[in-house]
Structure 1
Amino acid sequence: MRLPVPVSLLLLGGLATAQLDFLAKKAGLKYFGAATDTPGQRERAGLQAAYTQYDAILHDPKQFGQTTPTNGMKWLFTEPAPGVFNFTEGEVVADLARDTGKLLRCHALVWHNQLAPWVESTTWTPDTLRAAIVRHVSAVAGHWKGRCYAWDVVNEALDEDGTYRKSLFYTVLGEEYIKLAFQAAAEADPGAKLYYNDYGIERPASVKTAGARRIVKMLKDAGVRIDGVGMQAHLHADNHPSMQDHVDTMSAYAALGVSEVAFTELDVRITEPVNETKLAWQADSYRNVAVACTKVKQCVGITVWDFYDPFSWIPVTFPGEGAGLLWFEDFKPHPAVKAMVDAFGEVIGNGTKCAEKRRRRSLTA
């Protein structure tokens, strides 16, 4: 298929420099982004030598148009003692987003993990926990009011079987805590998009996907604002959802009335040893995500959960697995980068062809 000359030139530039955000926007998305951590977190991992190359890629506005702090806005950092707030860690990434012109997705207000120790050691009553949730959400979302494109308001409220996770929040308050968090977030930062965010909710027939739909419906029925569903998409190269799986899943969320869906923490891990076959599977998975997002009107963007393999959470959490991101340790791109560049390019080319056909029809009408 021969592409129109302007599109061919556009794709040539994209292939040469892997400008993922630039091409994603041309293909109709709002952003293509990468989460990042604070320098202090990377130093503790002994990886400070990679800063220069890493920052050059991350800061490039055509490469990544959005970012998310992987840790700095979580309860552990933002409210280390009851009613005592510290926004230093979160500000590092928020400032980076401002200085480089990126959208900021903020993450996460209420989550059962990475809580400050005092939260887990307190003996809660329903009244005291309600007050603590409202105080925390109001203070944290209020601090970044007007700076966050979106908030992951409640994170991972579901267990593997699709039922509610028996977190301390659910044990004390039931599903009320979800409503409470969304209500407080809407009041504290009314301009931000409010998301429910979880992993394992990317396949249409999954019990967790059904659980995520149930949460959206519960909030909608209660008159509580929810704007989006965030599919974390921590995927595996040798058993990943198809493109149609993603389309069907996102379409079902959209049918419940949310205005947005997004891939919020994308990575595709590989069981070691890494080889060309597994990298090809991984590239297919990334391509499926890219294509699917362009096919669903409500899909606004894709965020990879960092982009540089040595900064990934995968090897620590899944021993024997890794290489789940887009750049290897030597800063060479994975084949998945070209797969997504090609995918966005095909969408751009097809869109240009359709526009040209419409123009020709109008001239002959």
Structure 2
Amino acid sequence: MRQLFTRRAVRLRNAAVAVTVLASTALGAALLPGAAQAADTPLRDLAAAKGVYVGNAVAGGKLSGTPAYAAIAGAQFNSLTPENAMKWGSVESTRGSLNWAEADQIVAFAQAHNQQVRGHTLVWHSQNPNWLTNGGFSATELNTILQQHIAAEAGRYAGKIYAWDVLNELFNEDGTYRTSVWYPALGTGFIANSLNWARQADPAAKLYINDYNVEGIGAKSDALYNLVKSLKAQGAPIDGVGLQAHFILGQVPSTLQANIQRFADLGVDVAITELDIRMQTPSTDAKLTQQAADYTTVVKACLAVSRCKGITGWDISDADSWVPSVFSGYGAATLYDEGYQPKPAYRAVATALGGSTTSPSPTATASPSPTATATPTTTATPTATATPTGGTGGCSATYSVPNQWNTGFSGNVVVACAAGSSLSNWKVSWDFGAGQQLTQAWNATCTQTGTRVTCTNAAWNGTVGSGGSTSFGFNANWSGSNPVPAVTLG
């Protein structure tokens, strides 16, 4: 993100534990029926069928504090990018004192939801700690500091990151190198060095250079193209180019696909890494229609080039977007509105990825309540509600289906204890009555033998205190019908 984007730092929050995030995810989707099922099939499944990923940028505080946000993040996307949590100023605001809490939280959330992570970002001119920016270091000292930082961060998450935005926003608009703490102090050699150090620290990750206003062919994208070509000639480990794609309504470059193709022809992957399409507010039906068409253009341009690996949006909903705080009078840039309801752009993305063209689900929302019983939104049993049927000393388990599509569904089970009751470990069981087959689970260990499904607590969420609760989720296949089973808690 460019210098203006530093306002996102104010939204950084330190998350306490990843389990809070996971416990809120499926419940949030159940309580907000329009939030996560605008298409019959989640975006992540549609994208996977096309051989690409679809992702979004996330913040730890939102994952743990906003159920609808967490529900969408977990159900709709198969790739997550930490919005701020991995930036240097976040992890090492004081020299030598490393804070990985939020980054760890996001990685744990992604692992629990079978998602990949794009690491963002190791080397940038912005959102660096004051001790680095104003440290007065010599070139030799800067080189050592940079190497140590890349080794520490990329090394910590080695094997857990799909791709690193190793270098972010290297160029000015005219294609010259941006002045920063790194350039001209280290010359241009820090670019290849950073890639080499990242490869050493995390050998399996794809290594990217990421920038904005390089989506169409022009002076800035030419400079990036020539850099990548040079790095390839040097034998530097450059695997991909990230095109941020912060667009204005109606202004998607006509050369987007051609530009993606020319980078691919250099032998590197390409990804759309920070997509949003802002408009002058308030939005209108005409603007939303144009926005949907613009999102379609971007998705189709990526799908048309075999080395375009995926598309990541920047911020889940308009309520979370950075745009209004930076561009006065602009906003409404994401796939979801401020109430976490899908916009026409969501339907356009789903359709471009091969989804159905049926209308989105109802957009009414329900306010979360600690005592509410979740009513699943499903195509087969739209009013079915699972009630506690098994209990242990005042504790119970509630099964719901917050999201269902053509051949599969996401289930959620809440384990709760009334005041005066508690659990130190738990096991929840049920029988699928219509041939459903479990495919994956998170926040619990689940197995299926015949029709019987048994789920036991994970290492971190076995204890449920007095008046407390935890939850776990799962995906499964279904055909014909998907009745809600009776559950037992043992």
Tell me the TM-score normalized by structure 2: 0.63
Match of 1:325 in 2: 334
> What's the secondary structure of 2:319's corresponding residue?
helix
C-alpha spacing 1:77/1:346, structure 2 compared with 1 (3 Å): closer
- For the pair 1:256 / 2:266, whether they are aligned, the reply is yes
Q: 2:122 aligns with which of 109, 118, 127?
A: 109
**Distance in structure 1 (CA, Å) of the matches to 2:63 and 2:326:** 17
The question of whether the paired residues in 2 share the 8 Å contact of 1:124 and 1:172 is answered with no
> What's the secondary structure of 1:168's corresponding residue?
coil
**Distance in structure 2 (CA, Å) of the matches to 1:208 and 1:278:** 29
**1:342-361 map, 5 Å:** 342-345=351-354
In the TM superposition, what is the alpha-carbon distance from 1:331 to its structure 2 partner?
Answer: 2.0
**1:304-343 map, 5 Å:** 304-343=313-352
Match of 2:67 in 1: 52
Residue type of the partner of 2:326? T
102-111 or 51-60: bigger deviation? 51-60
The question of whether the paired residues in 2 share the 8 Å contact of 1:133 and 1:180 is answered with no
**Distance in structure 1 (CA, Å) of the matches to 2:339 and 2:164:** 33
**Distance in structure 2 (CA, Å) of the matches to 1:37 and 1:326:** 17
The question of whether the paired residues in 2 share the 8 Å contact of 1:42 and 1:311 is answered with no
**1:1-365 map, 5 Å:** 16-17=39-40, 19-29=42-52, 31-39=53-61, 48=65, 51-60=66-75, 63-204=76-217, 206-242=218-254, 245-258=255-268, 260-345=269-354
The question of whether the paired residues in 2 share the 8 Å contact of 1:202 and 1:231 is answered with yes
C-alpha spacing 1:18/1:333, structure 2 compared with 1 (3 Å): farther
**Distance in structure 1 (CA, Å) of the matches to 2:250 and 2:265:** 30
- Kindly indicate which of the two structures has a greater share of residues assigned to strand: 2
Count of aligned residue pairs for this structure pair: 320
In the TM superposition, what is the alpha-carbon distance from 1:15 to its structure 2 partner?
Answer: 6.1
In the TM superposition, what is the alpha-carbon distance from 1:18 to its structure 2 partner?
Answer: 5.6
Q: Deviations over 1:109-153 (max 9, x none)?
A: 000100011011111211111101100001110000000000000
**Distance in structure 1 (CA, Å) of the matches to 2:307 and 2:84:** 27
> What's the secondary structure of 2:259's corresponding residue?
helix
> What's the secondary structure of 1:160's corresponding residue?
coil
75-84 or 150-159: bigger deviation? 75-84
The question of whether the paired residues in 1 share the 8 Å contact of 2:246 and 2:275 is answered with yes
Match of 1:9 in 2: none
**Distance in structure 1 (CA, Å) of the matches to 2:331 and 2:128:** 26
Moved over 4 A (4+): none
Q: Deviations over 1:212-255 (max 9, x none)?
A: 1122122112221100000110111132223xx22101111111
Tell me the TM-score normalized by structure 1: 0.84
The question of whether the paired residues in 1 share the 8 Å contact of 2:46 and 2:355 is answered with no
The question of whether the paired residues in 2 share the 8 Å contact of 1:306 and 1:325 is answered with yes
**Distance in structure 1 (CA, Å) of the matches to 2:292 and 2:261:** 23
The question of whether the paired residues in 2 share the 8 Å contact of 1:238 and 1:278 is answered with no
In the TM superposition, what is the alpha-carbon distance from 1:87 to its structure 2 partner?
Answer: 1.2
- Kindly indicate which of the two structures has a greater share of residues assigned to helix: 1
> What's the secondary structure of 1:134's corresponding residue?
helix
Residue type of the partner of 1:333? P
The question of whether the paired residues in 2 share the 8 Å contact of 1:130 and 1:180 is answered with no
In the TM superposition, what is the alpha-carbon distance from 1:179 to its structure 2 partner?
Answer: 1.3
**Distance in structure 1 (CA, Å) of the matches to 2:345 and 2:80:** 19
Percent sequence identity is 40
Larger Rg: 2
Q: List alignment gaps of at least 5 residues for structure 2.
A: 1-36, 357-490
Match of 2:457 in 1: none
**Distance in structure 2 (CA, Å) of the matches to 1:218 and 1:166:** 20
Residue type of the partner of 1:322? G
In the TM superposition, what is the alpha-carbon distance from 1:42 to its structure 2 partner?
Answer: 8.2
**Distance in structure 1 (CA, Å) of the matches to 2:240 and 2:157:** 19
Q: List alignment gaps of at least 5 residues for structure 1.
A: 1-13, 348-365
Residue type of the partner of 2:209? Y
C-alpha spacing 1:248/1:331, structure 2 compared with 1 (3 Å): same
C-alpha spacing 1:328/1:171, structure 2 compared with 1 (3 Å): same
